[in-house]
Structure 1
Amino acid sequence: MCFRFFSSLLLLGVSIASTHAQVLTDSIRVEGNYRVFHYNKPTKPLANPALVFVMHGSGGDGLGMMRAATKMDQQAGDENTLVVYPDGYKRYWNECRKASPAQANKEDVNEQAFFTGMVTYFQQRYQIDPKAVFAVGTSGGGHMAYKLALTMPGTFRAVTAIIANLPGDDNLDCVPSGKPVAIMIINGTDDPVNPYKGGPVILGQNMNMGVVRSTEQTLAYWANLARYQGQPTHDNVPDRDPADGKTIERFTYRAKGKPDVVLLKVNGGKHDYPNDIDVHLEALTFFQQQRKRQ
C-alpha cells in the first residue's frame, strides 16, 4: 500500500446560503494514480473532529455530491465534524460488484489505500478523531460504503448506504472481514435500478453491474454479523410531504455493546431521495449517535 500527498491545493470560492465557504481540492497519489477529494475549509476551529466521507454515485463526482449534501455540510461545522467528498476513479468506484465494467474495477484500483491516505491527510491537518470516521454513499457510492464496512471495519465506525444493496454471493469480489459495523440502509421499494427485492442492476443500456441481494437480505447480513436475534423494532417516520407519494418505515436493531443496524424503508421510493427526510442529515445524525456510544 503506497500513497503520497500531492503538494498543491486548488482553491474554489463558492457561496453557501448566507455564509461564504472556500472549497479546497487536493489529491493523493495512490499506486501511480492521483486521487482527488474536495472539502469546505472549516470556518471555525475544530477540536478532534469526526470525519465523514460522502461518496457520489456511478458517473458522478465529489463536487456534485457537495451540492447535494449542502444541509449536512452546514450542520457538520456545528457538530464538530469535517465532511470530505472524494472523486471515484474515472467517475466510478472499485466497489464489491465483480461484474462491474467500470475501469476502476477492471484496473482493481486500491480504494482502501485511497481512504487510508485521506484519513492520514486529515489527521495531520485537522487532528481528526480516528475513532470517529464515517462514510455515506449513494447508489454506486452506497456500494463503496459497503466495501469500506466489509473490508475496513477497524477504520470506519459506521456507514450509510443509500439506494444500494449488497452484491449477491456470485457477484461479490471483496473479502469480508466478518466483523460487525454500525450501518444504516435507505432504500426505495419501487427502485427500478437497485431492486428492493434483489436482482440484476443495469445502468443505462450496456452497463450490467450484476446481481444484488434484496434489501431484507442486506439488512440481515449486517444484523447477523452483530449477532442480533429476533425482529428489529419498528416505527414510522413522520410523513412531512404527503404529496410525494412516499412513506418511510424505520427498522432498528439496537443493543448495548453492539453496533446499530438500521433500515429506512422508503415505500414508493425510486432511485432517488425521499422528500420526508434529508438523507445526508439523517446519516449525520446516525453517525453522531454511534460516536456517543463509544
Structure 2
Amino acid sequence: MIVQRLNLSHDGRDRRVTCVLPKEVQPGADLVLFLHGSLQSGSVARRFTGNTFDELTSRGCVVVYPDGVDRHFNDHRVGFNEAARRLLIRDTSFLTSLPSLLAAEFDLNFGQIIGCGFSNGGQMLQRLGLEAPGFLDGIACFGAPWPAADNVLPELATHYKDWVPVPVLSVQGTADPLVPYEGGASGIGNSNRGVARCAVDSARFFAQLNGLGTEDTNNHAHTETDGLTPTPVNAEPLSTRPIDGVRVDRFGPGAPESPAGGAAPVELWTIEGMGHVVPNPKEMDKKLGPSTNKVVGAELVAHFFGL
C-alpha cells in the first residue's frame, strides 16, 4: 500500500488528509472515508483502529482519513461546542469536495463512496446525510447513535425530508462509558454532547429516514405532516446471534448479516461488553472501556457494503 498526506485548501484553511492507496489503483475503485472521533486526527484514527481499515486497500479500495479542525468535525448536535462549531466550519462542503480533489490529485475515478465514522466522526456522517443527501453510498457509524430529537440542531432537522435512503451499518458496545448503549447524556468529562438515543432506537430512526417498515416503501424518506419528523417504523427488526456476545438487528430487506446489496437496509451490531471503540484486536485506553476480539469493524464494513 501507499500512504500519502495532502494539505488541501478549503474556505481559506489548510485541511490535512491522509490517503492510503493500493499500489495499483483500478478505475472505479471504491472510496472509503474514515472520520475520526473527538480529540483524534486521521493519523490517530489509523492507529486507533489497528490499521484494519488500511487493509481494505487489499480489496482495491482507496481509504482516506480527513482531519477535523482542532481535532473535531462540526456535527449536528446541539450539545456539541468545540472550536469546529464556534468557527462554523463547513465540514459538509469540505467532505463533499474530497472525491473530485482526490480524483484530480491521483488521476482516477471512484465507484462507491462509503463513509465510516467513530463517535464525533459518525455524528458528522449523519449531518452529511442530511445536508448532502445521496452523496454517500453507505454509512457506517461506530459508537455514534442519533441524538435525541431535541439535541439535533433545528436548522438541520428541517433536512429530514431531503434524506435519500442509504444502507447503514451501526456498531455499538454495551459497556460504552461515554455514549451509553441504552441512551442518555454522552460526552468526555465536562464536554457534554447532549442526550443520545439508545442504540436500537437510533437504528430504528435510520430505518425511518430510509422509509423502511412503512406502508409505502418508495425511495423517499417518509415524513409526518409537520415535514420534520420521519414516520415511525411499524416493523420490528430481524435478529440473529452470529457468535456468543454479538447480536445483529436488521431493518429492511435481507437477512441479518447479509450484504446490503442494492437496497437500503439498516443493521445494528451490538457487541456485549465492548466500550467506546471501533472493534479490532488492539488494546485501547481503559478510559474508553473494554476492547473486543469478537469482530473487526473494517471486516463488517467490507462485507456489508460489498467492498
TM bucket (normalised to shorter chain) is 0.7 to 0.9
How far apart in 1 are the matches of 2:147 and 2:6? 31
Alignment of 1:161 onto 2:164: no
How far apart in 1 are the matches of 2:167 and 2:118? 17
Alignment of 1:202 onto 2:182: no
Structure 2, unaligned stretches of length 5 or more? 214-234, 255-261, 280-291
Aligned residues: 259
Q: What is the aligned counterpart of 1:73 among 27, 43, 54?
A: 54
Partner deviation per Cα, 1:128-171 (whole Å, 9 max, x = no partner): 335x1011111111212222223223110111000111112221
Alignment of 1:285 onto 2:266: no
Q: How far has the Cα of 1:126 moved from its partner? A: 4.3
Q: What is the aligned counterpart of 1:119 among 87, 90, 99?
A: 99
Spell out structure 1 runs of 4+ moving beyond 3 A: none
Relative to its length, the structure with more strand (as a share) is 1
Say if 2:115 and 2:136, in contact at 8 Å, map to a contact too: yes
Q: How far has the Cα of 1:70 moved from its partner? A: 1.9
The code of the aligned residue for 2:303 comes to T
How far apart in 2 are the matches of 1:190 and 1:70? 23
Q: 1:35 to 1:143 in 2, by over 3 A?
A: same
After the TM superposition, which residues 79-98 of structure 1 pair with which residues of structure 2 at under 5 Å, given as runs?
79-98=59-78
How far apart in 2 are the matches of 1:119 and 1:47? 14
Q: 1:195 to 1:280 in 2, by over 3 A?
A: same
Alignment of 1:266 onto 2:271: yes
Q: How far has the Cα of 1:53 moved from its partner? A: 0.6
Alignment of 1:217 onto 2:201: yes
Q: Secondary structure at the match of 2:305?
A: helix
How far apart in 2 are the matches of 1:119 and 1:225? 25
Say if 2:204 and 2:251, in contact at 8 Å, map to a contact too: no
Counterpart in the other structure of 1:128: 109
Q: Secondary structure at the match of 2:52?
A: helix
Q: How far has the Cα of 1:71 moved from its partner? A: 2.8
Say if 1:228 and 1:253, in contact at 8 Å, map to a contact too: yes
After the TM superposition, which residues 24-63 of structure 1 pair with which residues of structure 2 at under 5 Å, given as runs?
24-63=4-43
The percent of aligned pairs where both chains have the same amino acid is: 25
Q: How far has the Cα of 1:214 moved from its partner? A: 1.5
How far apart in 2 are the matches of 1:155 and 1:178? 11
How far apart in 2 are the matches of 1:45 and 1:179? 29
Q: What is the aligned counterpart of 2:293 among 249, 270, 275?
A: 275
The code of the aligned residue for 1:202 comes to G
Deviates more, 1:117-126 or 1:99-108: 117-126
Structure 1, unaligned stretches of length 5 or more? 1-20, 240-246, 290-294
Deviates more, 1:257-266 or 1:51-60: 257-266
Q: How far has the Cα of 1:265 moved from its partner? A: 1.0
Q: 1:179 to 1:209 in 2, by over 3 A?
A: same
How far apart in 1 are the matches of 2:247 and 2:110? 32
Say if 1:149 and 1:158, in contact at 8 Å, map to a contact too: no
Deviates more, 1:221-230 or 1:111-120: 221-230
